[in-house]
Every structure is written in C-alpha cells, then in structure tokens.
Structure 1
C-alpha cells in the first residue's frame, strides 16, 4: 500500500510539472504577461470576474494564465481564492442611473435623452479574419472616446410615465449571499438574479435562446443595454455617511415584455433584468430573458413546461463550477464501484443463461 501511495504522488508531481511546461509553451516565444491578458483579453477577464463573483481584473487575468485559457477552470481558481479573503462590510447598491456610459443602446426607442452610443462592439463588424492583427506591433487607429456622464435616465422610465410598464419593486430584505450560504428553494427574484449573474454564460445563453424559440412564449425587446462605470460606496459608521471606495464597470440590460394582464394587473409591459461585471452584454441579455421566464408564477401566467420556467432546474444547473466538479469526478478512480457492478452483470448473465438452459431442457 505504501508503494502504491508513493507511486501515485510521484505521478501527480510529474503531471503538475508537465502541466507547467505545457502552460509555458515554446520558450522561444515571449511569455504572455498578466498585464497583456488583462488589457487585451478583456472580455475573457470580464467573464471570469462575473462567474467568479470577484471584481479584480488582475486576479482574473492571472487565473486565465494559470488555467491555460480554460475560463471555467479560471472561475474555479477565482472562487477558491475569494473564500480566503476577509470581509470588512457590505457596500450600498450601485446606482446605474449615474453610470458613465461607454455604450448605451435601445431597441425600443430610436431617440432618447442622452442618445444612442454604439461604443466598443462587434455588432457592426464583418465576421472576417483581420490578418493585420497578426502583424507584430500593429497599433489600432485612435477612436473618439467620450463616455456619457451620469446621470442618464433609463428608457423604461418613459414607459413608466404612462403606466405602461410594471413598477420596479424594491425589497428592503437583503437576499442571502450565495458566496457564503448554499442555494435554497424556493428562491425569490433577488436570489435568482444573484445566481444568474454568476451562472455559466453558455448555459444561460442556451436557456435564453430557448425562450425566443417558443419555449416559454417570451418574446422580448431590449428596452436598454448600457455598459459603463459606476461608483461603489460604503457606509462608514464612524463617519455617519457613505464614501466612494472605488469604481467598477458593469453591463446592465432591461428587457420589455408584453403582458396581457391578470385579475389584479392591467395589460402592460413587464421587465426582465440582467446585471453583470464588465462588458458582458451577451450574458446580461440572456440573464434578462431567463429572469423574465422564471417570473411566470409571480405574474399569474401559465406554466408551459419550458426549461427556462423551471426555477429549480435553472438554478441547480447554472453554476459551471458545481457542474464541472460533478462531471469531472467520474474520471477519478471508481474501481470498487465498477467491480461491484461488474460482478452484478456477470451474475445476471449467469442467471439468464441458466434460465435459457432450463427452458431448452423443457
């Protein structure tokens, strides 16, 4: 037994060394720095921060480098590191109305106060490989950067002036912290949104796509999508007021969905909501669509059996770290389990063979 254990440890050490060698790659090529990843692979960094529940571009970039570009592994690393950090207190809810917008678009109103800001986006690019990017030292053309200073009103406020959209409900009860307590059902909307904002982007995207294809009857308009910087404030008891402790970049999406009304509510538009760290608009839009789909019971709509409507299904399967852990554990040794099943199959085969012999003898 001792020899087997030592042999296993040696093999694991060699695997780690090989992993480090593969991570580095060809030593004739300059090593990729954390700063380069942070500045040039920003969208990957944003995803790792969002799904890792930790806003720190440097640490997210380090995790991506350590994980060899495997973003789910990088999310795992960030979450593990996050558990070691002390907690000094809670910040106040951010005010996205005061956002300095780099990008702000609406699919429902062409002309809106503050104007439409295309910002940095792939939406209007040709999906053709740009071989100029392969040239060493290629510098981008300078672009005019003039973020819209806050406050910038939300588009849904215009609909709210006529009572055409549901009121945004505020709950004074703070939701449980999913980074400190396990998910429990039933989950209210605040907890569902918290789970969705750190859910796997691909899973959330697929669910959102399913709602558009008819599974949940959830055709939505993007009322507003905005990306920009917001201040983070924290109340200091000794001072008696809140102080600005930093600034983060977030993506916010509000969708507008038709609602035929119920016994208590008139026909109006309803909301879907998404808010994610960094420039992560695909995730924010997906989150808003899934959020709206899961509100069917609250709004008195019919449950049509769509996956995106099933809160337990969505929330229990959306976390990529949990999914990865359960999936990948099956590649670890299961020798005893398999041997027991192997003996069971052999026994069943023997019994089936004996029955066939008995039937033939009759």
Structure 2
C-alpha cells in the first residue's frame, strides 16, 4: 500500500474522469459497441483471450473498450475477472487432430491429405493502406464436412522420421499442474511450460522465436502444419458417467518440425515444437512452438547457450501482466526510497570529494618537495 497516494484522492478521481473523457472521444460520434469490436477486431480479441487465459470474445471485446485499446490493460482486466469465477470442474482434453479447419497450411509438403486450406489470412494481401474498407463479397467456399485432414506430422511418423507425439506405452503420464492455482517452480514439466507460454506476451515470444532462427538457439524449423478452426469442448461430469459437450471454441494450432542430428543414445530425426492458443493467433502459436522446442534442449542433450533455451529466463519474463505490474509500479510514489538513495549519493559524493582533495594535496606536496 502506497500511503502517499491517500492524500491525493481528489486528484485520482479527476484523473479517472479525464481518462473516461479521453476514451469517449467526440461526443457527437457514435460510441463503439463491444459487438463491433468482437466481430471486426477478431485478431486483437483473440490475443486478449489467449493472454488473459479466458475464452470469451464478448468479455475480451469489452475489456479492450474499457482499456481504450491498451492490450496489456485489457489482459489484466480479463485475468482479474477470471479470478472471480467459480470452478465447476474440468474439461476433457481437446482433440485438435480432427477439428474442421477454416485454415490449414503446411510448409513441409505441397500435396497433403485434405489439401491446403488458405482460409482467412494476411499472408497474400498487398500491404497497401486503403481509404475505405467497404463490405467485401465472399463466395461460399466452405469445405465439405467429409474432407479428412490427418496431421501432416503423421506422414513423417510412418517411417519414424519424427519423434513420437505420445509417450511410450507403460509410461506414467502425470496430470499437468495448473499455473493459475499453483506457484511456479523450476524445473518445470513440458505441460507446465506450455501453459506459461500460452499465457505469455506475444511480442516477447516472437522476439525469442526470431532469435532462435538467427542462431541464438539450435532451431532449424519448418512449419509442419498450422490449423485454425473450431474444436468441441466437453465437460467431464462424473455424476452422470460421461462427458457432456458444452460448445465449440476457435483455436489456432501449430506443429513445428525441427532438425535433430542425434546423439549417442538417440538416432537422427525430426523433433517437434508445439503451440496452441485461443482464437486466431498464428503468430503467437508459431512463436510458442519455436520457443517450446528451444526449451527442450536439455531433453535432447543440446548445449544451452542462448536466452530462448533458458527455462527460468523465458518463463519468468514472458508473463505480460507480471512484467507490466513490475515496470509500471515505478510510476507510483517512491518518495521515501528516493530520499534514502539521495542521502546515500550525497554522502558518497562528500567522501569522494574529500578523498580527491586529500590526493590533490598529497600530489602538490610531492611536486613541491621535488622542486626543492
């Protein structure tokens, strides 16, 4: 509690009023509705949901409006709201292998079962600013429900050219921890790391992923597959004896294929990096998969020489809410701390000046004796 803030209640109230006025803009202009934000700013809403750890496009859109477009503030609002929600139970692990994809592309094979599905993407657009967006006419290009889209990485798995995506038979796969309810401890399991990366700041993960491509890591990546589509969520209801479908949510999944030359115990093969986020978030999913693979360096006996391979560095600094709070708290009053350091600096300067004055007198005395 910053006691010094108490005396400025009126100033704080005025600051809140001014913030609301700035956020409203011209009073003659219509106010933006959260439904407009949800439907027309879908990529931004997806980022807030992913980093806020809560899938609710309406709430994410409302948080963005309240935060006046400040993504990190909106994420903080969404996480704060999330902590107030009751927890009724757990859902069954989602099966993304068979999700009907709106978008599904692979950079490793041209012809893949089910075909390449470009979907909605900026990848092929001309980056030219237009005056009017207009209302585009979109033809009906929906893929028939019967079209099968097996995982591209399964093609490599046939000849054991890529590591298995599931543990060997007989291996005890423990339930993953929940980072929202348990303290972070190192070293972490891969499941816990993926949770942290999923909640991590997109820009931070993008920079780390980029660093691995530039040689600060051991990645030589290929996009095995990127999928965007809706997946069914099932609630585990023990009282009725089976899982209950409760709805569908949009997700983005990336499987990154990485080179591994092998070692004395493991044959040369491709390895995996994995990313999964709420909504449309290809950049985040790809960055997440690059960093996931970099953090598996110890697992494959690789030297840890770069920031992206350091688990504690990556996880401890990837959470944008924690980072924002620690950085922005510097704006709050630190009067007592600063006065203490100011006094220390003044004291050290006096000692410094006294010492240098003494050294100058000693030097002058030596010169005088030399002249005599």
Q: Same fold (TM over 0.5)?
A: yes
Aligned-pair Cα RMSD in Å: 1.4
Q: 1:148 to 1:214 in 2, by over 3 A?
A: farther
Q: Deviations over 1:102-159 (max 9, x none)?
A: 00000011111110000000000000012222xxxx3211233414647521001111
Match of 1:130 in 2: 130
TM-score, normalisation: structure 1 = 0.95
Q: Secondary structure at the match of 1:98?
A: coil
Match of 1:156 in 2: 153
Q: Would you say the 8 A contact 1:222–1:253 is kept in 2?
A: yes
For structure 1, the 5+ residue unaligned runs are none
Determine if the alignment matches structure 1 residue 241 to structure 2 residue 242.
yes
Comparing 293-302 with 348-357, greater Cα deviation is found at 348-357
Q: Deviations over 1:60-96 (max 9, x none)?
A: 0000000000001000000000000000000010000
Q: Distance in 2 between matches of 1:144 and 1:95?
A: 27
Q: Would you say the 8 A contact 2:5–2:333 is kept in 1?
A: no
Q: Secondary structure at the match of 2:76?
A: helix
Match of 2:361 in 1: 361
Comparing 147-156 with 95-104, greater Cα deviation is found at 147-156
- How many residues align structurally? 354
TM-score, normalisation: structure 2 = 0.92
How does 1:1-362 map onto structure 2 within 5 Å?
7-133=7-133, 138-147=134-143, 149=145, 152-170=149-167, 172-303=173-304, 305-362=305-362
Q: Distance in 2 between matches of 1:158 and 1:358?
A: 79
Q: Distance in 1 between matches of 2:6 and 2:109?
A: 67
Q: Would you say the 8 A contact 1:205–1:282 is kept in 2?
A: yes
Q: Would you say the 8 A contact 1:102–1:148 is kept in 2?
A: no
Q: Distance in 2 between matches of 1:360 and 1:228?
A: 76
Q: Would you say the 8 A contact 1:100–1:148 is kept in 2?
A: no
Q: Distance in 1 between matches of 2:210 and 2:47?
A: 19
Q: Distance in 1 between matches of 2:7 and 2:357?
A: 48
Q: Distance in 2 between matches of 1:306 and 1:95?
A: 33
Q: What is the CA-CA distance between 1:350 and the residue it aligns to?
A: 1.2
For structure 2, the 5+ residue unaligned runs are 363-372
